Amino acid sequence: MYANLCDFVLRLYKGSREHDAARFMDWALDHTRSLVPFDSAVWAIGVAGVSIHCAHLHQLPTEVFRRWEARRKTDAELNNLVEAPDGQTVTRSFYAPSASTLDGDVKHGIRHALCTTARDDTTRLHHFICLYRSSTDVVFSEEECGLKEFLAPHLIEARHNNLIAHFNRHKQGAYLSGICDRFGLLHQVEPGFEELLRGEWPDARLPYLPAEIASAAAKGRQTVIETVHIVFKLVPLGDLMHIQARKMSRHIRLSARERLITKHLVAGDAYKEIAQALKISASTVTKHVNSIYKKTGAKNKTQLAKIIETAKQKG
């Protein structure tokens, strides 16, 4: 058993570096089956004392989790497990009807459950990992209960490593990465990501994203958002969202008209030529140019061109 356990842990961490983040939880649960056989599973994540925010269903239909919050509050045994003391890893096994709190009757193959709640000490998020068997003839043993409790922190840490590996594979210039769910709860961030957010939203309730960004993430679509000081790229990652963020360059903070005039300036056009091209007065061009130089810190066209080129390289 000891050799099998060592091999399991080594393969788990190796897999966390190799597998795609969108499919890692399924792979990790399948890997767990080699030590603790089961038929289906739920891996849920949330904040202590708050509703579970997201749940990854392994070989279960989405309806299993549909009424999670409403029904778990009526099940004292399962609720106490989910709300285990902060920082503790707790594992319990039980039969239906407790297992059916997840709307799992016989048709979903949930007859006996082995559930563990544990905290990710890096993110301070709580993970609730529940394995199910479809038959009560082979229930989870006390040994399997202890084994699952040992494995849970490794599964959580492996997921943490997997997201970091995802960040590294998709690194783009000065962008910092974060992963959030549909509620705007951050699951993982690169160093500096939260500080970047606080620079624009000093009162942000991290690990929750500011409302404007959380609202965009909830739509689950790829998009780009520009706020006052930050540009965000949002890309779906399974049921989650990969968010990349960086400070706007001084060039990007220019107005649409200022950006257009900047292009003419960098191209070497004279003020009169710019005025004719944009059908505005020369005095208006001069006013915009003064604003451009003030915002970018440039003193002339040559310096402005260098600033624009640097901004493009960083972006």
State the pLDDT at residue 81: 62
Higher pLDDT, 258 or 76: 258
Number of domains making up the chain: 3
Q: Report the C-alpha gap between 178 and 197 in whole angstroms.
A: 11
Note whether 159 and 176 are same-domain residues. Answer: no
Q: Among 149, 167, 185, give the residue marking a domain's end.
A: 167
106/119 Cα distance (integer angstroms): 30
pTM above 0.85, yes or no: no
- Per-residue pLDDT, averaged over 117-126, amounts to 87
Is residue 145 predicted with pLDDT exceeding 80?
A: yes
Q: Compute φ and ψ for 86, nearest 5 degrees.
A: -55, 130
Tell which residue, 125, 117, 163, 154, has the closest CA to residue 46.
Answer: 125
Same domain, 68 and 140: yes
The CATH code of the domain that includes 307 is 1.10.10.10
Indicate whether 87 pLDDT > 90.
Answer: no
Residue 104 has pLDDT above 50, yes or no: no
Task: Tell me what the pLDDT averaged over the chain comes to.
Answer: 86
**Nearest by Cα to 227 from 240, 209, 207:** 209
| Residue 57 sits in the same domain as residue 121 | yes
Residues 73 and 106 in one domain: yes
- Maximal CA-CA distance, the chain: 88
Q: Say yes or no: 44 and 150 in one domain.
A: yes
How much is the pLDDT for 296? 80
Q: Which of the listed residues 167, 193, 217 is the one where a domain comes to its end? A: 167
CATH number of the domain within which 97 lies: 3.30.450.80
User: pLDDT digit string (tens) for 280-310?
Assistant: 999 999 999 999 888 888 889 988 888 877 7
Domain that holds residue 184: 171-247
Same domain, 50 and 130: yes
Distance CA 280, CA 265 (A): 15
- Which pair of structure tokens corresponds to residue 206? 């991290």
Question: How far is it, in rounded angstroms, from Cα 278 to Cα 198?
Answer: 39
* CB 108 within 8 Å of CB 155: no
- Spatial separation of the C-alpha atoms in residues 254 and 260, rounded to whole Å: 9
Domain final position from 123, 141, 167: 167
